[in-house]
Homo-oligomer: A and B are copies of this chain.
Amino acid sequence: MTGVSQATVSLVLNGRHDADVRIAPGTRERVLQAIRSTGYVADPIARRLAARHNRILGVFTYEPVFPAGLGDFYHPFLVGIEECAERVGCDLLLLTSAPVVDGRRRIFHPDNRLRLADGCILLGRSLDPAELARLVAEAQPFVSVGRRDDAGGPVPYVGADYPAATAAQVRAAVALGHRRLVYVGQGAGPESHADRLRGFAAAAAAAGVDGRHLPIAGSGAAEVLDAIRADRRTCVFVEEFADGVAIAEVAAARGLRVPEDLSLVALGDPTRPAATDIDVTGYRIPRREMGWQAVEVLAGMLAGEDGPTQRILACEPVAGTTLAAVAGA
């Protein structure tokens, strides 16, 4: 149309004004005019092929991104991720096509599409260590939302400070006279669980009180409550919000008052839907902020900046109404 070469169009299109790229103002204007009148836009695909990046960030989750049953646990993460992606001018690619093997999605499979994106955000309670190791080994740019143990190398992440947040709750309970505490939950498996238990145990030890761990694999709330009462525990720290609610309900059914007869602390937000009117004491995971910062870290990595790639964010305490001075105090 304008009689110039494709190269010139490319230069004009990208607004190149470098010292070694000179376009006569008149020519530039003619090209821009042609672009405007035709509504031409460069093919992003070809662009990516040539430029080696495309301002797309992948989002991989082992579970569906928009969970029907999972409550809305992931939603706040995504809000943060989207906000930051918008800010840094990137689009988000939800890797929904990853095939499900053995009940979970796989990152690596014959038709792996991770590389569609410049980098990738990993979301999920537990990430497969083998896949994580491979990502690290292949030097794929990625950031995990949630702390991860090393996997053949340090894993970039933005995590929540479960140990500190849990420890703070333990100290609060101790300050209220509790001496026999119990941690109800796995305390293992996902890093977030182990972190909670670690914070619990450390704080209990530091305060010189009795902190026991009660794994609850397969047991119902009633049995758990039995064990707690038999052991004369006065304050329960539940790894999982919903378990706490279930215990509180069983307790209520037995005529036990919370927190007068039994204190309850939830170590984080519900990951399973838990309908309740109880204002449970505990802390809030800074999910939105984690999502936001994960994108920030990833964007930094992609920009070639080399700063720290691991961040730990503080959790916000929730006063609630389920922690009170111990009965006998």
Report A's interface with B, CB cutoff 8 A.
39, 41, 43-46, 48-49, 54-56, 64-68, 72, 75, 78-79, 82-83, 85-86, 89-97, 108, 110-113, 115-116, 134, 138
Contact = CB atoms under 8 A, between A and B. Distances in A.
Contacts of A67: 79
A45 B54 contact: yes
A134 B93 CA distance: 25
Copy tally for this chain in the complex stands at 2
Nearest to A116: B44
A111 B86 CA distance: 14
A45 B115 contact: yes
A110 B97 CA distance: 30
Contact of A91 (B41, B64, B85, B94): B94
Contact of A64 (B82, B112, B115, B134): B82
A108 B39 contact: yes
A138 B39 CA distance: 10
Nearest to A88: B97
A304 to B, nearest CB: 20
B96 A90 contact: yes
Contact of A97 (B68, B86, B95): B86
A113 to B, nearest CB: 5
Given A97-B90, A113-B91, A66 B41 contact: no
Contacts of A45: 45, 48-49, 54, 115-116
A68 B64 contact: no
Contacts of A112: 41
A41 B97 contact: no
B96 A93 contact: no
Given A44-B113, A91-B95, 13 more contacts: A39-B134, A41-B111, A54-B116, A55-B97, A56-B93, A64-B83, A66-B79, A67-B79, A85-B96, A90-B97, A92-B93, A92-B96, A93-B94
A85 B66 contact: no
Given A91-B93, A95-B91, A66 B46 contact: no
Nearest to A89: B97
A115 to B, nearest CB: 6
A79 B138 CA distance: 32
